[in-house]
Amino acid sequence: MRIGLLNGGGDCPGLNAVTHGVVGAATRLGWEVVGFKDGFEGLLSPGNYKLLKVEKTEGILKLGGTILGTSNKGHFSSKVGAGGVRYIPSELMEDAKGTMRDLGVEALICVGGDGTLTTALQFWKEDFPVVGVPKTIDNDLAATAMTFGFDSATQTVVDALDRLHTTAESHKRIMVLEVMGRHAGWIALYGGIGGGACSILIPEIPFTIDKVAEAIQKREEMGFHSSLVVVAEGASPKGGSLIIEDANEGGEVRLGGIGEIVSDKLSELTGKETRCTTLGHLQRGGSPTSLDRVLGTRFGVKAVNLIEEKRFGRMVSYQQYHVGSVTIEEAVRQLNLVDPEGEVVAAAKSVGVCFGD
Ligand code: F6P
């Protein structure tokens, strides 16, 4: 038995842990794993791949990035903007399936976010056996309580805030940190709480900048002369729109720039010195945390188990500390967004965090 493995979308800490899990579990079953390079692009004939033996994956568990390469654009991009879907032309699908047939690959594991899983679903609908593994630092996939990569990204935000804190205190400044997350505020929310931010602005709660400025003034009156403000790249003011940095070839927008806008406005309203840092791809790089290494390994093993049980068209899913599975269809149907009325936001508000609402 030969199975295929590919990574799609942005790189993410823990991708190599999944590869380690897949190769380990498959090898124990006597199977071979064909690792396709650069996402679905590696499926184009004659195929761009490498055979993944345990000797080749030894020691990769702790590495960031992916030994297979990945891509969030190209021939197989199926997501356009928030919610738009592009159907992959049948000649491309046939070409990809032909490559796998020629290599003797009987089932394919697709590791990725919403876009990758949407393409994987098309393969399954066209009768090619696939299994999905949820990946994204944004944690925005419904049907799984957590994706690997999110914990590592959040830890990077917390580390950054700890560092910004010292300058904020020494100079009595407001330090604004813009973080990733696309249309979901999970990274900002968890990173902001963990790093002691006084204000967290997320896409799910449109903000009023005067409220944030008021919260900072109140802190001044209480004798706290420095403030950390975390802004998700997808956050926007009430009645305002998303700040779009760019649109890639597939039409998926790249967000960014709201941090500087918030920073300038807060400086104007409070009269305090304010600086903005955009954390950017530092959140996607580096070694995965222990949680992401373990989650990635478990996800990889589960994907192989699903193939062994011939339960195709399913995505590995993490629910209540247990790794199970759901249909891919269920997983790509909706985004997992922060509940503005939920317990996490309420807990943050209870300890004085201002969301600008
Ligand atoms: O989906 C992961 C993510 O890092 C988002 O948080 C961010 O908006 C986007 O990818 C950045 O994409 P790129 O690497 O193409 O700039």
| Residues ≥6 apart with Cβ < 8 Å to 172 | 225, 226, 272, 273
* pLDDT tens-digit series, residues 3-18: 999 999 999 999 999 9
pLDDT, mean of residues 270-291: 97
* pLDDT tens-digit series, residues 238-277: 998 888 877 665 556 889 999 999 999 999 999 999 999 9
Q: Which of 133, 164, 135, 155 lies closest to 147 in space, CA to CA?
A: 135
At which residue do the structure tokens 């928030």 appear? 82
- End-to-end, the C-alpha distance of the chain in Å comes to 56
159 catalytically annotated: no
* pLDDT tens-digit series, residues 25-75: 999 999 999 999 999 999 999 999 999 999 989 999 999 999 999 988 889
pLDDT at 43: 98
Which tokens is 2 given? 């030969």
* pLDDT tens-digit series, residues 76-89: 988 765 567 788 99
234 lines ligand 1 (CB under 6 A): no
Atom of ligand 1 nearest to the CA of 137: 2
Which tokens is 179 given? 């973080």
12 lines ligand 1 (CB under 6 A): no
Please say whether the structural domain 2-148+288-331 has been given the CATH code 3.40.50.450: yes
* Fold adopted by 153-285: Rossmann fold (3.40.50)
82 lines ligand 1 (CB under 6 A): no
254 lines ligand 1 (CB under 6 A): yes
Q: Which of 226, 225, 244 lies closest to 234 in space, CA to CA?
A: 244
Atom of ligand 1 nearest to the CA of 72: 15
Amino acid present at 183: H
- Whose alpha carbon is nearest atom 14 of ligand 1? 10
Amino acid present at 244: I
pLDDT, mean of residues 277-300: 97
Of residues 11, 138, 140, 151, which has the active-site annotation?
A: 138
* pLDDT tens-digit series, residues 218-234: 999 999 999 999 999 99
pTM, full prediction: 0.95
For the chain, what is the mean pLDDT?
95
* pLDDT tens-digit series, residues 127-155: 999 999 999 999 999 899 999 999 999 99
Residues of the chain with CATH 3.40.50.460: 153-285
For residue 9, the CA-to-ligand 1 centroid distance in Å is: 9
* DSSP string over 185-252: -HHHHHHHHHTT-SEEE-TTS-B-HHHHHHHHHHHHHTT---EEEEEETT--BTT----EEEE-TTS-
Residues of the chain with CATH 3.40.50.450: 2-148+288-331
* DSSP string over 95-131: HHHHHHHHHTEEEEEEEESHHHHHHHHHHHHTT--EE
Burial class (CB within 10 angstroms; exposed 0-12, middle 13-18, buried 19+) of 90: exposed
Which tokens is 197 given? 């931010």
Which tokens is 139 given? 């944690």
137 lines ligand 1 (CB under 6 A): yes
pLDDT at 250: 56
Which tokens is 234 given? 């997808």
% of the chain exceeding 70 in pLDDT: 97
Distance CA 7, CA 4 (A): 11
* pLDDT tens-digit series, residues 151-206: 999 999 999 999 999 999 999 999 999 999 999 999 999 999 999 999 999 999 99
pLDDT at 191: 98
Q: What angle do CA 344, 15, 322 make, to 5 degrees?
A: 50
Q: Is the pLDDT at 356 greater than 60, yes or no?
A: yes
* pLDDT tens-digit series, residues 26-35: 999 999 999 9
